[in-house]
Amino acid sequence: MTEHIVTKKQYAMVFAILMLLTLATTAIGMIDLGRLNVVVALVIATIKALLVVLFFMHIYWSSKLNKLVVVSGVAWLALLLWLTLTDIFSRGWLPFPGK
| Under rule CB under 8 A, residue 63 binds another protein | yes
**Closer residue to another protein in complex, CB, 87/97:** 87
Contact 4, 58 (CB under 8 A): yes
Maximum separation of any 2 CA atoms in the chain, in Å: 66
Euclidean distance between CA atoms 66 and 81, whole angstroms:
23
Binding-residue pattern over the window 15 to 54 for another protein, x denoting contact by CB under 8 A: x--xx--x--xx--xxxxx---xx--xx-xx--xx--xx-
Q: Which of 24, 60, 74, 93 binds another protein (CB under 8 A)?
A: 74
